[in-house]
Amino acid sequence: QLQLQESGPGLVKPSETLSLTCTVSGGSISSSSYYWGWIRQPPGKGLEWIGSIYYSGSTYYNPSLKSRVTISVDTSKNQFSLKLSSVTAADTAVYYCARHVEYDWFDPWGQGTLVTVSS
């Protein structure tokens, strides 16, 4: 059974870079047809897609976040990572990672990790 788990600091200072890692277990991140995505949810608000990556390194980014986002993959560790630079309080959210079928759905999702931006 495929499982995803987010990890990283729960508190980041304004203007710094948010860094999270998603570890995939129960399956290979190098599986064809699957991308791996990041989605966030500010407290009490809706979902926002951040970006997705293929095991080869090919990426898609949300145009509204593209200038600040970098997603990378480490196939040897079965992990993919998110970096979001120049964060502000507006970036405070629960960050989820998920398997992403290209052009299509997200499933399964990790349990999510809350990242708070505050000094």
Partner 1 sequence: QSALTQPASVSGSPGQSITISCTGTSSDVGSYNLVSWYQQHPGKAPKLMIYEGSKRPSGVSNRFSGSKSGNTASLTISGLQAEDEADYYCCSYAGSNWVFGGGTKLTVL
Residues forming the site for partner 1 (CB under 8 A): 39, 46-49, 52, 60, 62-64, 96, 101, 103-112
Closest approach of partner 1 to the CB of residue 96, in Å: 6
The number of beta carbons lying within 10 Å of the beta carbon of residue 99 is 22
Closest approach of partner 1 to the CB of residue 16, in Å: 26
Which residue spans within the chain are E strands per DSSP?
A: 3-7, 11-12, 18-25, 34-41, 48-53, 59-61, 69-74, 79-84, 93-101, 106-109, 113-117
Q: Given the complex with partner 1, which of 14 and 108 has the nearer CB atom?
A: 108
Closest approach of partner 1 to the CB of residue 13, in Å: 26
Q: Given the complex with partner 1, which of 8 and 112 has the nearer CB atom?
A: 112
